[in-house]
Amino acid sequence: MPTGSDAHHLRAGVAAGHPATTAAGYAALRAGGSAADAAIAATLAACVAETVFTGLGGGGFATYWSAAEQRATCLDFFVTVPGLDTSATPAPMSRLQIRFGGVEQAYSVGASSVAVPGIPAGCGELHARWGRLPWERLVTPALRLASAGVPLSIAHARVLRALEDGLLIGDGALAYAPDGELLGAGERLHHPGLDQALRLLADEGADTFYTGPLAKAIVHAVHDGGGVLSPEDLSSYAVMELPAETAGLGRYTVHARRDLNDTLSAFAALPADLEALTAGERAVAVTRSLGGPEQHGDTTNVTAVDADGNACVVTTTLGLGAGVWLPGYGVHLNSMLGEGELLRGQPRPGERMSSMMCPLVVTDEHGLALAAGAAGASRIRTALVHSVVGVLIEGRTPAEAVAWPRIHPVAGLAHVEPGVPADEVDALVAAGYRIRQWDAYDHYFGGASLIGRAGGGADPRRGGAVRLL
């Protein structure tokens, strides 16, 4: 543990959802890069190593903490609704039933589910604002991974088995079942052609996805499947800066955008004396703050802190994936228009879609205390609140807090991971909750990655890894 004035400073490092993702961000820090550089390199690497969750054809959000300005900035590079220059009717989407979290869930896929991707633009904007290293250097780790392939982690192999009906559509089978059998843990995940896409990204910058060769490939692939995404949809895409709002947590302040889950309100709803409550009372208070509808999706997160005390947290997603791939480029396009819980009213062309992602930072009177993000749709809020409370209120290290068993409420039913103490479960029952006791840890409960004053933590439920300078 640091002592003296160092006790109030975070160590530089990266926490993310795969060892290869973390290594890419760590290499950027070792080369003198900023937190933004590390987050960019790690996010692009995740688009190769974590394609069961994310990819270049997806979208996301970032929260950046400037140590010099003592200010948080939130960037929205999520997907937009296509159809700006056409009145054509998109072809019907295909419905899939996927067993997720022990429950059958409906997904809609196909070319008409593809929205305008934002991850390349988001990485480009982070670099333009806060990057130090050359752009090509940040793309290179992902390019090398794409050329060689990446071992599939145990956690990602479990996700692949759960989602195989969606991920094997089209060219997905070339990567996830290259010999006709689904990849298992430790086997090489390789997307043919993805290195070519990353080479274009390295050479031409993010614009290649919006006005260059990859933009043309996206339009053709979507049109061939009956979708309406056009060159105008791509060329008009822009990253948005959002207000960084705040919520109190005892003596701490949480900074984040206002997301579809309203994670900030969950923090604000916690009792001011949370630290003084018994474990059972605290379990009930946290569970009540998390009440809300059940929603599903796949995401991943990168948390980076540099030696100057800046932090960059990036959360991205592909949805299930549309089953539409760019021929020869190994890029899977998102299925966001098929994610019904993200649609609010009648979607209009050019409109930015909503999301439950909420990368955040937490400060106190000494400055930055914690940088955190999580994956897992409606369980993003659960993973974040449990992990942040675990570190800042209950005194756990980030690694302990991320691994600690969680409770996720859905309409009066509390999903409880193994290891939650009996007195906390009893308190939930006394408060009126029905209990579903899980017999194993599962990626259903979200995946958090965070860096705090006592180190870093990356979720074992999703095969995460941490490296600190």
Task: Report all structural domains of the chain as residue ranges with CATH numbers, in order of start.
Answer: 4-468 (3.60.20.40)
Q: Give the number of other Cβ atoms within 10 Å of residue 154's Cβ.
A: 12
How far apart are the C-alpha atoms of 122 and 42, rounded to whole Å? 13
Give the side-chain half-sphere CA count within 13 A for 180: 0
The pLDDT of residue 353? 93
The pLDDT of residue 188? 97
- Spatial strand order in the sheet of 299-305: 240-242, 71-77, 59-66, 311-317, 299-305, 13-16, 465-468
Residue 18 and residue 465 in contact, taking contact as beta carbons nearer than 8 Å: yes
- As given in the structure block, the two tokens for residue 324 are 């539409």
The pLDDT of residue 404? 97
Q: Give the number of other Cβ atoms within 10 Å of residue 421's Cβ.
A: 12
- As given in the structure block, the two tokens for residue 58 are 């997806």
Contacts of 120 (CB under 8 A, 6+ apart): 56, 201, 206, 208, 209, 210
Q: Count Cβ atoms within 10 A of the Cβ of residue 4 and give its class: 0-12 exposed, 13-18 middle, 19 or more buried.
A: exposed
Q: Is the pTM of this model over 0.85?
A: yes
**Residuewise pLDDT in 10s, the chain (469 residues):** 333 346 678 999 999 999 999 999 999 999 999 999 999 999 999 999 999 999 999 999 999 999 999 999 999 999 999 999 877 889 999 998 877 656 667 789 999 999 999 999 999 999 999 999 999 999 999 999 999 999 999 999 999 998 999 999 999 999 999 999 999 999 999 999 999 999 999 999 999 999 999 999 999 999 999 999 999 999 999 999 999 999 999 999 999 999 988 999 999 999 999 999 999 999 999 999 997 656 555 789 999 999 999 999 999 999 999 999 999 999 999 999 998 667 666 779 999 998 999 999 999 999 999 999 999 888 899 999 999 999 999 999 999 999 999 999 998 999 999 999 999 999 999 999 999 999 998 888 999 999 999 999 999 999 999 999 9
Report strand pairing: 413-416 vs 434-437. Answer: parallel
- As given in the structure block, the two tokens for residue 118 are 């934002």
**Beta bridge partner(s), residue 116:** 80
How far apart are the C-alpha atoms of 398 and 460, rounded to whole Å? 12
How far apart are the C-alpha atoms of 306 and 135, rounded to whole Å? 18
- As given in the structure block, the two tokens for residue 449 are 């990655």
The pLDDT of residue 3? 37
- As given in the structure block, the two tokens for residue 287 are 């569970």
